[in-house]
Amino acid sequence: MYQFAAWKYWLVIAVLVLGTVFALPNVFGLDPALQLSRVDRQVMEASAEQKVLDVLKAQGVVPRADYLKDGRLVIRLANEADQAKARSVIQSATPGEFTIALSKVSSMPDWMRRIGLRPMSLGLDLRGGVHFVYEVDTAGAVTQALQSLERDVRTTLRNERMAYTNVAMEGSTLRVNLRDSADLYKAIKAITPSDGSLLTEVQPVAEGASFVARYSETALKARQTAAVEKNILTLRNRVDQLGISEPTVTRQGADRIVVELPGVDDPNEAIRVLGATATVEFRLVDQANDAYEAQRTKRIPLSSKLYTVRESGSPVLLKRDVIATGDQLVDATSTQVEGRPAVSVKLDARAGQEMLKTTQRNVGKPMATVFIQKKRLAEGESCKGTRVNNDCTEEDAISVATIQGVFSSQFQITGLQATEAKDLALLLRSGSLAAPLAMVEQRTIGPSLGQDNIDKGVKAMIVGLILTFIFMAVYYRAFGWVANAVLLSNLVLTVGLLSLLQASLSLPGIAAVVFHLGIAVDANILIYERIREELRNGSSPMAAINSGFEKAFATIADSNVTTLIAGVVLYAFGTGTIKSFAIVMTLGIITSLFTSVVGSRALVHFVWGRQRKLESLSI
């Protein structure tokens, strides 16, 4: 009698049950839906949900289901006509209150959603989504590099105790005016890096000494390339913060970046967050000069800059020396301080040390937080700050507070609106853009095209399965039906894993499913041929079964491991749909090993292993 451990039966049963449960949401289709979020970006509450439902009920629109998810209201509808009508009704009844996005959501029962079950995440070619092309302002990257250089030069001169009258940008150069001509070459040596990336030129002045610094052509090209690469990394981080699965962020040409977001629920939110350039600076207030007088006469001290306090609208003079910037933050989270929106930040070691020194020397003096936002203006949009062509830079002092005690790397930024606090925390966490972005192309891929791809892919898979089933049943008889059952369970487990991991399935991913099913049936063929060989050599049926599984395992393992290595390499170095193919293939190989070796053996034992006198096998 062929023995098979009972715990292996229970293992197979448990895995199949779990796989079926996780795969079950994919049986249900997608319904047209509306996703509502508040314009002020606050969390949608039950009272707002009821208000919207009452509006729809009054107009005879009956949703199939509605629920709150991630601070938004999701309303499932019966068809696209109801979807369009519901959107129009809500917009008319609540003007300017909600942002409404059209989408499709799973029609699975509510109990599945409550326990966290989800269907597979579909890629751009299957689900639809948006395709953006951004152009990196490489000239802006040079400007940002010069601004950083300006801050570094001020810090260096101050640390070396060399007095200066002005350090300011002039086009693509940085001019430095010193009080004492004796400090000229000492200052040049102090700020010039050893790699030769910075070029300096002495210029005559009536008093003191002056020189200009500019980056070399090689350094400029390197910084422009680095800006594109840094922006790609930042965009990837921002997409991750938005929670979009399996996005594609790739470089196109010298200065363009392609972003593909499958199944986005709110394209407007993605556009706003991806292209935003927002950061903060911390500066001390200039108490030696009158801000109102500087605003009236337009005569601003060289060591200070004039800002406007957002809340009061009053002018304030802030020192040019920056204590810390948003680039030096290592973490940022939106929070509440005394019931008001705020951002809790953590500085890196260098900035934390500078903040500690500053607060130690200036307890009782005011310090301001400057909010800086750069954006590309739309047609007809006005700019409240500095405008260069269609690029706008807005700078506001969002808070001016007295330093009550000494602190270093951890503190809160207040004075923000609720929307700004959430967005600023996201932008600071994901990193600042190395250069401004301009969207040059936006394309929407409709779900109808995706549905056509799904239908064709599923049709190909069904035809392949039917042909495989027929071949296995005819050639291997009863054992062929065992292989067919194992093949179906393999498919269910693969779908369940894709749903559990929320790995994106694209059209090449469907091809990978068909491919790995071929690998799975190949493993059963190897086992069955071993069994037939043992039978021809005179072994008893049970001995042939036992020997066939054991001898075929090494060959199956070797072939699957080599294919698995190829899948891992494709995932590591591929992008977009290549990754989708790789991850489906990798998961399929793992499920194939389990179903073909453990599952198949369990089923064979269940059918033939319990028979005490087995004379022949239907193979």
Asked whether residue 446 carries a pLDDT value surpassing 70, the answer given is: no
Asked if the 29-107 domain carries CATH number 3.30.10.20, the reply is no
What the block records as the tokens of 475 is 């050639």
Q: What are the distances in angstroms from CA 559 to CA 382, 526, 552, 553, 578?
A: 64, 11, 11, 10, 21
Asked if the 6-25+449-609 domain carries CATH number 1.20.1640.10, the reply is yes
Asked whether residue 456 carries a pLDDT value surpassing 70, the answer given is: yes
Distance between first and last Cα of the chain:
19
- Give me the percent of the chain exceeding a pLDDT of 90: 5
Strand order in the sheet with 30-38: 65-69, 72-76, 30-38, 98-106
pLDDT at 131: 81
Looking at every residue in the chain, the average pLDDT score rounds to 81
Query: In whole angstroms, what is the distance from residue 618 CA to residue 482 CA?
Result: 11
Query: In whole angstroms, what is the distance from residue 39 CA to residue 429 CA?
Result: 23
Please choose, from the candidates 244, 278, 280, the residue with its C-alpha nearest in 3D space to the C-alpha of residue 259.
244
> Which helix (H) or strand (E) is 553 found in, with range?
helix 541-573
**CATH tag for 138-219 (out of 3.90.550, 3.90.320, 1.10.10, 3.30.70):** 3.30.70
Asked whether residue 280 carries a pLDDT value surpassing 90, the answer given is: no
Q: What are the distances in angstroms from CA 7 to CA 29, 51, 436, 596?
A: 36, 54, 60, 18
Query: In whole angstroms, what is the distance from residue 28 CA to residue 107 CA?
Result: 6
Tens of pLDDT, residue by residue over 157-202, are 888 888 888 888 888 888 888 888 888 888 888 888 877 788 888 8
Query: In whole angstroms, what is the distance from residue 617 CA to residue 619 CA?
Result: 6
Q: Which CATH number is associated with domain 275-430?
A: 3.30.1360.200
Asked whether residue 317 carries a pLDDT value surpassing 90, the answer given is: yes
pLDDT at 17: 93
More confident residue, 124 or 466: 466
Whether the model clears a pTM of 0.85, i.e. scores above it, the answer is no
Helix runs in 25-177, H state only: 46-58, 80-93, 110-114, 124-127, 138-159
Asked whether residue 469 carries a pLDDT value surpassing 50, the answer given is: yes
pLDDT at 14: 92
Domain ranges of the chain: 6-25+449-609, 29-107, 138-219, 275-430
29-107 against 138-219: fold identical? yes
More confident residue, 481 or 451: 481
Tens of pLDDT, residue by residue over 232-279, are 887 887 776 665 655 778 888 888 888 887 766 556 666 766 766 667
Please choose, from the candidates 9, 1, 100, the residue with its C-alpha nearest in 3D space to the C-alpha of residue 52.
100
